[in-house]
Structure 1
Amino acid sequence: MAKTLTATTIALLRAKPTQFAPAAVRTALREWAFNTNRRPEAPRDVPAILRWVERNSLPVSSWEDPEKVDQVLLAIDTRLDGKQAAAWSRKRNRRILNVAMKYAVRRRILRASPLPKGKESTALTKTTNAVATLYCGPRPENAVAMRVEDVTLPVPGADDQWCEPLIHTATLEVGKQWTDTGEIHERRDLKGRAEGETRTVPGHPALTRVYDNRNTRLTKWLNDGIPPVQVAEWAGNSVAVLLTTYARCVDGQLPDLKRRLEAAGGLPEEEPGAG
């Protein structure tokens, strides 16, 4: 919201700053003017910058000028380097600006929203989120919040190896200057859901067959001739469990064992006088 409102404010200035660097003006707006929690901590130069912005801001009536509205929309759709922002970023900025306009109408600051009706062209807003459609489909903030105990694993050896992840929280990285706790992340309820509501989704078997890697590793150690006692210690198993589970998988060691027996010597010689 702060980024969108900063771009909007700068687009509606009468002139470009001369006594202040443009970056300093953006920082003063984004980090202090639009962050109510941090306003009392603003550096000494910030009040002067914000007073200049106030003096050079166009009146609210400028929103009735379609050209000014187009100018604002172009500003929030454009990155600082002059290139067009990503589709999801443009969509988000317009949604935030639309909320601000509704607030202004409700407070009778504006008679009606000056923003154009309808949505941005599908060609501009449509995005592809291939990652989200794979496996469980969590949002990144949902995946960050997941813990081991949130996943119900299938019974080992069962035909159905699908798991059931429980998605219950969104942990967003918003920056410590934007949270009440001073932490980088902020925990929230799921997007578009009631408070405390969760959802369970099917997890592809590819997510639950990590144990197969362990089986492969233990079998490889045994096939490489590492003593079972040592393998059991590394694996955290007892020797009995190790041999019961994996001994039948050991293969290909017979030629090596024969060579070791030959190296140890042949049959023992008979003692003199033996019958």
Structure 2
Amino acid sequence: MTEWSYTVRIWAIRKRPYRKPYQLRWQVGTRPHSESFLTSGLAESRRAQLVTATREGEPFDVESGLPKSMVQKEKDLPWYQHARDYIEMKWDHSPATTRKNLAEAMATVTPIIVKDTRGMADHRLVRRALYSWAFNVKRWDEEPPPDVKEVLAWFERKSLPVSALSEKMLVRRALNACTKRMDGKTSAGSVIARKRAIFHQALGYAVDAEMLAENPMHTLQWKAPEKVDEEVDPECVPDPEMAERLLAGVRAQGARGRHLEAFFGCILYSAARPGETVGLLESDVHLPRRGWGRIMLRESRPRAGRPWTDSGEAHDRKGLKHRSRKAVRPVPIPPRLVALLRWHITAHGVAPDGRLFRTARGGMVQESGYGEVWAAARQEVLTPQEWASKLAKRPYDLRHTAVSTWLSAGVEPQIVAARAGHSVAVLFRVYAKFLRGGEDAANAKISARLGD
């Protein structure tokens, strides 16, 4: 930890009979420092720097004896190198999807933090070089293609030092880049917020490394053009009856649809996220012949792509969202899902590793595959007007159906939150519109209790 002091004494330059005869001496706190020079001009110049720093109220590093501005300059790195250091620092403890997000954010801001754009390659090649090579630690030992290698060498030459980000307008330009997609259109609010947060963390890492005195984003007046709306839009959420019709539409899609009916059923009746359902094992489900059963959700298997996972598999393996790696979420499931899963196991069996759902070749269920089946079911079941709307646009909307159904049934919010894998605060924030929708029923219950 750097120790700073404002107690500085600087003495006059003295001449000695040595190879570097002009010696400058000063003291920071109680620690003496000295530096020798060939000429009196060089010695006077350094003394003037130290005197100026004291007059401007800069703290001095007790260890090196230098003012903070000079310490930061010595520690300064090009932004390109700092961004790679930041990615490397985060890499080992980040799931594959987070690694992709880190690389995407750094690939967005790095082309802005350059001395000039002369000689910069096409933006698509720049994107590929930065996202797939510069900021993917797994590929650092590989030899990139010649065109990528040339782009990376260009950024090594042209990248501004991290200290340049003390200029707020440069930070503003980088943040503005976070709001745009590659086609120039405005990104979704959640994407902008994610990139901004990662850029903020990278700047904070520069503060920790003493390349910046403070995080410039703390005092920057900047507002994203798109707000992050965490509340679920009721127009997207099918009611339980519509959801069951969509499951029937899935079943009507042939062998692949019949295999995926229980997959979608787990999302609808247990509020499991698709990534949590992909890796569900037979041993994780309790399916009695009668009554309610139980699903034990232990992990999520999102598809991130082989370049980003430690295993080299397309699907990452990580703990439940916002939970410790060993956390388990038990969810009671209604008899209709119990029956659906029992039928699924009887008709299709399980994969060699015990997974309930798999592709025709035994692999992990792919988002593209189940997405096609869902799109076909949606087109078959919905009216043209409903199909053109946001209603049940994604399989994930079945999870919202589950949670909103529980809430409208009068289940206590803390129980709903626990089953859905939320905190109660997040439940209230995300499902606020559905909670407001129950006001009439709540008022009726209160009136009945009061005898009104």
Query: Is 1:37–2:138 an aligned residue pair?
Result: yes
CA 1:122–1:10: 2 relative to 1, 3 Å: closer
CA 1:22–1:120: 2 relative to 1, 3 Å: closer
Deviation at 1:124, TM superposition (A): 0.6
Percent of pairs with identical residues: 32
> Secondary structure of 2:127's partner?
helix
> Secondary structure of 1:62's partner?
helix
- 1: CA distance, partners of 2:280 / 2:324: 19
Query: Is 1:7–2:108 an aligned residue pair?
Result: yes
Deviations 1:255-275 (A, max 9, x none): xxxxxxxxxxxxxxxxxxxxx
Quote the residue 1:143 is aligned against. 277
- 2: CA distance, partners of 1:123 / 1:205: 43
Quote the residue 2:183 is aligned against. 81
CA 1:140–1:75: 2 relative to 1, 3 Å: farther
* 1:168-247 pair list within 5 angstroms: 168-210=298-340
Quote the residue 1:48 is aligned against. 150
Quote the residue 1:110 is aligned against. 212
**Aligned Cα RMSD in Å?**
3.1
Unpaired segments ≥5 residues, structure 1: 215-275
- 1: CA distance, partners of 2:121 / 2:224: 37
The aligned length equals 210
- The code of the aligned residue for 1:35 comes to N
- 2: CA distance, partners of 1:81 / 1:121: 18
- The code of the aligned residue for 1:100 comes to A
- The code of the aligned residue for 1:37 comes to K
- 2: CA distance, partners of 1:85 / 1:95: 15
Of 168, 173, 185, the residue aligned with 1:71 is 173
Deviation at 1:198, TM superposition (A): 1.0
CA 1:12–1:121: 2 relative to 1, 3 Å: closer
- The code of the aligned residue for 1:199 comes to R
Q: TM-score by structure 1 length?
A: 0.66
Structure label with greater radius of gyration: 1
Deviations 1:18-46 (A, max 9, x none): 46222112111111111122122222333
Q: TM-score by structure 2 length?
A: 0.42
CA 1:142–1:74: 2 relative to 1, 3 Å: same
> Secondary structure of 1:200's partner?
strand
Unpaired segments ≥5 residues, structure 2: 1-101, 238-265, 345-452
Deviation at 1:88, TM superposition (A): 2.0
Report the more deviating stretch, 121-130 or 12-21: 121-130
Deviation at 1:195, TM superposition (A): 2.9
Deviation at 1:122, TM superposition (A): 11
Which one scores higher on RCO, CA 8 angstroms, separation ≥ 6? 2
